[in-house]
Amino acid sequence: PTSRALKSVTRFYMLESNKSLRESNVTKSGNCGSVSVVFPITMMVTGMVGNSLALMLVYSSYRKKENIRKKSFLLCIGSLALTDLFGQLLTSPIVISVYRADLKWDRIDSSGSLCAFFGVCMTTFGLCSLFFASAMAIERALAITSPHWYSNRMKTSVTKQILAVIWCLVLFFSLLPIAGVGRYTLQWPGTWCFISTGDREVPGNMFFSITFAVLGIFSLLVTFSCNVVTIRGLLIRCKTKSGTSHSSKQWERLTTETVIQLLGIMCVLFICWAPLLVLMLRMISTQTSSHHCKPAEVSITPSRDIQVDCNFFLTAIRLASLNQILDPWVYLLLREIILRKFCQVANAVSNCSIDGQKETQTALNALNKQPADTNGLYKQ
């Protein structure tokens, strides 16, 4: 009897040990598949480099007297680059610190105030980036469709006021959870804080989370609509200038370049932001949140659907953060590099001669020396 009991106890402990080992392996494999300190470090470095270069280019262009008509656009792109740069500088070091603390947020933020600060930064810089993109899209549409009104009414002081109002309104909205309307919570895998999407019992939380998602989607639709209007206006003006003259060929090339860039801007915005905003609405409707994906909770009550949503939510927020890195390149830095190559390829395909390549260079130079009748086209 004693040997049987000993064998039973031994078998029980072996089974429990194997079970714990399997659960530990699952948790570790899940974490390794979704969590890596390489992401925040890479994104911080690339974001700082790209936005710093953009700010230097904007500053040097803004000081030139020949760029007076460009100052409204330069203010917009400069504000966007500055916003993205500060967003990276204020959030990435916190994420890296959590990784150094073995993914234990409590080690660096026992009071929870840092989580609230992180949530405010994520909301503020995220919405500001979207609204600044919409402001630039509206500015482009007005410059192309109503050039005379734009020249007379769109002053630099007006642009500064609009940008300041956007900043103040977004910051006020982001501080609502601090005032008790909504809540910022620690999100999977415990390295970042954001809006809670599944806590209906928190006062105003549904209003705050839904408003954020709706404002983001509205901004994307405004940007998309205005860029479509700009593309249509460019094509119409290009047709009116069609012909065999040198200036008409310049217009055709400039229009092609601008359309390509606008399509690239729309694709980047939708790819980076649409997954997060749509997933937020889905999680709000199902009353789930990313902070439900803590490993301890998953091991007790495993739910494959919740874990999939959590991993996808982490990927979606990384895509949204990637937008802060891509913004300066899409709007400014890659314009002449990529479009110059595109023109060279187009010339090669159409069997253009050396004279055609000279015309391409002339078109690119015209982009920097914008004539009065193409007011607003340089802003693309």
Decide if 327 is inside a domain: yes
**Does residue 380 carry a pLDDT above 50?**
no
Q: What pLDDT shows up at residue 273? A: 94
**Does residue 334 carry a pLDDT above 90?**
no
What's 108's domain CATH number?
1.20.1070.10
Across-strand partners of 193?
Answer: 186
Decide if 167 is inside a domain: yes
Report for 5-9, 28-32, 115-119: range of highest mean pLDDT:
115-119
Tokens (6 digits) for 317: 């927020």
Residues 192-212, mean pLDDT to the nearest whole number:
88
Decide if 354 is inside a domain: no
> Cα dist. 280→16, 118, 237, 270, 353 in Å?
38, 18, 41, 15, 53
Q: What pLDDT shows up at residue 176? A: 95
Q: From the CB of residue 53, how many other CB atoms can be counted at a distance below 10 Å?
A: 15
Read off the pTM: 0.76
**Does residue 64 carry a pLDDT above 90?**
no
Decide if 346 is inside a domain: no
| Biggest CA pair distance of the chain | 105
Decide if 4 is inside a domain: no
Task: Give the residue numbers spanning the domain of 312.
Answer: 36-295+304-337
Decide if 318 is inside a domain: yes
Residues 306-323, mean pLDDT to the nearest whole number:
83
Count of domains for the chain: 1
Q: What pLDDT shows up at residue 114? A: 93
Decide if 267 is inside a domain: yes
Residues 22-39, mean pLDDT to the nearest whole number:
50
Residue 124: pLDDT band with limits 50, 70, 90: very high
Decide if 342 is inside a domain: no
Q: From the CB of residue 342, how many other CB atoms can be counted at a distance below 10 Å?
A: 15
Chain-wide mean pLDDT for the chain? 76
